[in-house]
């Protein structure tokens, strides 16, 4: 039994990493066509192997680090980030194999909160004030994301009587459509997707929390961002629809289209929308549901 779980976890991790590689390539292709240019088309057929070429290039890059006490915390933040991302992928594989699904939604809530601490460590320990500003913005956005996620999971638990049955055929989107819109807004912020990618929202911030990183550490941060985006896209369809891989792909395509179509919202407008509208909508749904029970 445990051997089967291990094999399935490793297989799912490899397949998810391959999905991330091809998703990055497809995102670059779609954005290039939106901007009326070709995009990557040299490595492999139609540029299909571009992500693997970038991977090899990043691995081979060398950087001489002057390690200090603070730099060890930076390394710790990267380790925590990749550990949380890999654990989410492992749980995803176990659920798809119908092996384990106890309190699964609460598990993602806890692990998602740990990710915010890892990004704060990565930004603070990189010896760059711009990276620190970026990590503070990401952490503040994570607080709003966790709050909306917690309220939506309470709503899910009240409607379906628990947090342990992700295979239920959910119609929560039709019952609470505004809750789905609120969830989509904070999910864009958590995934650092336009129009809510505030870790890179100023010209000085460049690439956000990873501005001082290169080689393997940059690769880890970059890949984990896409892994988390994929996993929470899957979680959103557990809650609002049902487990359907096609709908997850549609959500990922929506992220790419929104990145190429919309400009970035001002940070104060985003905070105002979340606290004045999204939180209010979720709380109204909770109050109405409590009154019906």
pLDDT band at 279 (very low <50, low <70, confident <90, very high): confident
Q: What is the pLDDT of residue 78?
A: 84
Distance in angstroms (rounded) separating the CA atoms of residues 137 and 123: 10
Question: Mean pLDDT, to the nearest integer, of 22-48?
Answer: 83
- Residue 138 near residue 116, CB atoms below 8 Å: yes
Of 15-24, 49-58, 93-102, the poorest mean pLDDT is in 93-102
- CB proximity list for 178: less than 8 A, separation 6 or greater: 281, 285
Task: Note whether residue 277 is domain-resident.
Answer: yes
Q: What is the pLDDT of residue 157?
A: 77
Asked whether residue 227 carries a pLDDT value surpassing 80, the answer given is yes
Task: Note whether residue 48 is domain-resident.
Answer: no
Question: Mean pLDDT, to the nearest integer, of 182-189?
Answer: 85
Number of domains in the chain: 1
Distance in angstroms (rounded) separating the CA atoms of residues 198 and 230: 19
Of 102-106, 177-181, 249-253, the poorest mean pLDDT is in 102-106
Distance in angstroms (rounded) separating the CA atoms of residues 88 and 75: 20
Q: What is the mean pLDDT of the chain?
A: 78
Task: Note whether residue 20 is domain-resident.
Answer: no
Task: Note whether residue 44 is domain-resident.
Answer: no
* C-alpha 115 chain-centroid distance: 10
Of 33-42, 113-122, 157-166, 234-243, the poorest mean pLDDT is in 157-166
| Percent of the chain with pLDDT strictly greater than 90 | 0
- CB proximity list for 179: less than 8 A, separation 6 or greater: 152, 155, 172, 281, 282, 285
Q: What is the pLDDT of residue 267?
A: 82
For the entire predicted model, the pTM comes to 0.82
Question: Mean pLDDT, to the nearest integer, of 134-154?
Answer: 83
Q: How many other C-beta atoms are found inside a 10 Å radius of the C-beta of residue 84?
A: 23
Q: DSSP per residue over 229-265, as a string?
A: HHHHHHHHHHHHS-S-HHHHHHHHHHHHHHHHH-PPP
Question: Mean pLDDT, to the nearest integer, of 211-223?
Answer: 80
User: Does a cis peptide bond (omega within 30 degrees of 0) precede residue 79?
Assistant: no
Task: Note whether residue 150 is domain-resident.
Answer: yes
Higher pLDDT, 160 or 196: 196
266: left (phi over 0), alpha (psi -120 to 50) or beta: beta
Task: Note whether residue 90 is domain-resident.
Answer: yes
Asked whether residue 205 carries a pLDDT value surpassing 80, the answer given is no
- Residue 92 near residue 237, CB atoms below 8 Å: no
Structural domain range at position 114: 63-292
> pLDDT of 108-123, one tens digit each?
888 888 888 888 888 8
Q: What is the pLDDT of residue 98?
A: 63
Question: Mean pLDDT, to the nearest integer, of 126-143?
Answer: 80
Q: What is the pLDDT of residue 289?
A: 78
Task: Note whether residue 135 is domain-resident.
Answer: yes
Question: Mean pLDDT, to the nearest integer, of 264-286?
Answer: 86
| Percent of the chain with pLDDT strictly greater than 70 | 82
Question: Mean pLDDT, to the nearest integer, of 254-277?
Answer: 85
Task: Note whether residue 142 is domain-resident.
Answer: yes
């Amino acid at each position: 039994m445990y051997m089967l779980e291990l094999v399935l976890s490793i297989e799912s991790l490899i397949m998810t990493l391959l999905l991330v590689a091809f998703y990055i390539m497809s995102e670059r292709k779609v954005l290039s066509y939106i901007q009326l240019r070709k995009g990557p088309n040299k490595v492999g057929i139609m540029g299909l192997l571009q992500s693997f070429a970038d991977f090899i290039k990043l691995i081979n890059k060398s950087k001489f680090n002057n390690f200090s006490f603070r730099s060890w915390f930076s390394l710790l933040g990267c380790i925590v980030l990749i550990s949380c991302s890999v654990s989410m992928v492992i749980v995803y594989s176990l659920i798809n194999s119908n092996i384990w699904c106890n309190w699964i939604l609460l598990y993602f809530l806890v692990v998602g909160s740990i990710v915010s601490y890892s990004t704060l460590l990565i930004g603070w320990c990189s010896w760059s004030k711009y990276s620190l500003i970026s990590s503070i913005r990401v952490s503040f956005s994570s607080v709003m994301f966790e709050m909306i996620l917690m309220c939506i999971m309470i709503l899910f638990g009240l409607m379906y009587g628990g947090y342990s049955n992700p295979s239920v055929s959910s119609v929560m989107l039709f019952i609470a459509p505004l809750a789905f819109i609120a969830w989509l807004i904070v999910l864009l912020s958590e995934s650092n997707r336009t129009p809510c990618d505030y870790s890179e929202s100023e010209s000085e911030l460049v690439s956000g929390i990873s501005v001082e990183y290169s080689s393997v550490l940059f690769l880890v941060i970059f890949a984990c961002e896409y892994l988390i985006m994929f996993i929470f896209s899957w979680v959103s369809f557990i809650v609002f629809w049902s487990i359907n891989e096609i709908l997850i792909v549609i959500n990922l395509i929506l992220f790419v289209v929104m990145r190429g179509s919309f400009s970035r919202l001002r940070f104060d407008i985003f905070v105002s929308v979340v606290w004045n509208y999204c939180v209010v909508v979720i709380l109204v749904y909770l109050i109405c549901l409590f009154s019906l029970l």
